[in-house]
Amino acid sequence: MKQLSLQYISREPNSISEKTSLLILLHGYGSNEEDLFSFATELPEDLIIISARAPQSLGFGGYAWYTIHFNTSVDKFSDIPEAIASRDLIAKFVTEVQEKYNITPAKTFLLGFSQGTILSYAVALNYPEKIQKVIALSGYINPDLLPKTLDASKYTNLDFFISHGNVDQVIPVEWANKTPKFLNDLHIKNCYQEYPVGHGVAPKNFFDFKKWIEERM
């Protein structure tokens, strides 16, 4: 069996059919594939869950999708060429996983946290034919990772669950709460929630996006 473009861990249901849905998890900066995979035991048993590892090793079990320059001005915060490379690598990986399990884009969910969310937005808006449903936790839309021209007619199938901690000390909530207007202007379906936490996922946040997934399976 050929190796896929990213390392990952997985949980498969007992049986897979045309009704089975796929959930791909993209962790945040400095974390790894084990982090979001901790959600797996609480999510529907008939989901295929794939948790990918970012390509850049930071040492001590931490990985990143792209470099963050902590000591430069905010407009140079992210290494954009690296982020674009990871965006396209994730899109390729999504296709590989869909082909491996014979899952359609309509039955595919992409869930990101922080840096994983930034790239989830970028994948969905650059490759809307691959991904339709996105759970975007504690991130924001980086325009540098989007197509130069945004064609709303290509985005009719997209659907986003977006959440953010209203005391997030890593990514300001103000960056996130611009997202609904951005998506609404493109007539993209979205649901936006804030929770009284920092840079993390509150229990209510988890149960809200779990319900959102279940309603779309």
CATH (domain of 157) = 3.40.50.1820
Per-residue pLDDT averaged across 74-82, rounded? 75
3 within a domain of the structure (yes/no): no
Question: Taking 60 as the threshold, does the pLDDT of residue 76 lie above it?
Answer: no
64 within a domain of the structure (yes/no): yes
2 within a domain of the structure (yes/no): no
- Tell me the DSSP string of the chain: -PPPSS-EEEE--S---TT-EEEEEE--TTB-HHHHHTTGGGS-TTEEEEEEPPSEEEETTEEESS-B-TTS-GGGSB-HHHHHHHHHHHHHHHHHHHHHHT--GGGEEEEEETHHHHHHHHHHHH-TTT--EEEEES----GGGS-SS--GGG-TT-EEEEEEETT-SSS-HHHHTTHHHHHHHTT-EEEEEEES-SSS--HHHHHHHHHHHHHH-
1 within a domain of the structure (yes/no): no
pLDDT band at 98 (very low <50, low <70, confident <90, very high): very high
What average pLDDT does the chain have? Answer: 94
160 within a domain of the structure (yes/no): yes
Counted domains in the chain = 1
Domain that includes residue 164, residue range: 8-216
Question: Taking 60 as the threshold, does the pLDDT of residue 54 lie above it?
Answer: yes
- pTM score, whole prediction: 0.94
Q: What digits encode the pLDDT tens for the residues 122-172? A: 999 999 999 999 999 999 999 999 999 999 999 999 999 999 999 999 999
Question: Taking 80 as the threshold, does the pLDDT of residue 56 lie above it?
Answer: yes
The whole-number pLDDT of residue 203 equals: 94
